[in-house]
Amino acid sequence: MNVDKAVIPAGGYGTRFLPVTKAQPKEMMPVLDRPTIQYVVEEAVEAGIDDILVITGRGKNAIEDHFDRSYELEAELEKSGKDDRLERVREITDLADIHYIRQQDRAGLGAAVQYAEDHVGDEPFALLLGDNFIESSTPSIENLVDVAEDREESVVALERIPWEEVPAYGIADVADTSGRSYPVDDLVEKPTREAAPSNLAIIGRYVFTPEIFDRLDETERSARGELELTDAMRELSAIRGTEIEGDRYHIGTVPDWLEANIRMALRHDDGQLNETVRRTIEDELDRGNGGV
């Protein structure tokens, strides 16, 4: 079992960012000097996966444009002698072999994943959500791929989150969390804090065997009319969980996006920021105040 393809769903409307996402995909919201989705693509590439399918939708052309050649821009940068910037622009184009398909039926994450079946075929694949990214010494998706290839089972990335945040996530029910990975007994979508079996949250990184497509075909749509990926995952013959390492940045809401920019700026500061200011900002973020 070899995982050499990745799928990135990026077809949602991004309504929490309106009006800015009326004309710009949420996945193109910048964190420091690059759009969020570029971090996601880079994670897959660093894990050795360079065959990537991005599932887009109406109004998402900016994603394709970002990873495409821009001959006019390159010519201008070359003419101006801005070689360092020219190199960075060309690196984006050469990142991976990126394919696109437009999602017609925007009816949940499960429906988006179904659009990948023709591309991945009868092979396992990595699934990375396009609105969050993880900085770590080893790409998080690489850890999942290693487990999946070793066990020949589907794998989901998990993170221990504060209990008060549990109702916003899909939560894993596990009996034993010892070892590098462990069997997942059940998955519960956005439970109340009292009903949650754990605080191990699904955080947008998966490796699936082709079985997931059969389970999606058999899954009924939820009360809100969406095909829930979590419902299909519950019916898999086996699925394992592994906890991520590193710093995860979620771009789900405007406050999340602002916090990601601030934390990334602090993390990649080159020493110019006053240390007292740095500590004050970090303390405020850690108190959960959502910024300064």
CATH fold, domain 5-157+201-252, is: Spore Coat Polysaccharide Biosynthesis Protein SpsA; Chain A (3.90.550)
DSSP 11-61: ----GGGTTGGGTS-GGG-EETTEEHHHHHHHHHHHTT--EEEEEE-TT-H
Q: Any bridge partners for residue 8, and if so which?
A: 54
Q: Flag whether pLDDT at 71 surpasses 80.
A: no
Q: Looking at the predicted structure, is the pLDDT value of residue 196 above 80?
A: yes
| CB 211, CB 200: distance < 8 Å | no
Mean pLDDT of the region 158-177: 90
Mean pLDDT of all residues in 242-265:
88
User: Span 261-269, mean pLDDT?
Assistant: 81
Single pTM value for the model: 0.86
CA distance 146 to 70: 36
CB 214 within 8 A of CB 168: no
Check: CB of residue 91 under 8 Å from CB of residue 204: no
What band does 282 get if pLDDT is binned at 50, 70 and 90?
low
Please give the pLDDT value at position 277. 57
Strand partners, 160: 200
Domain residue spans in the chain?
5-157+201-252, 253-292
Q: Which helix (H) or strand (E) holds 117?
A: helix 117-120
Q: Give the mean pLDDT of 254-278.
A: 75
**pLDDT for position 218:** 93
- Per DSSP, 175 falls in state S
Token couple for 162: 């504060």
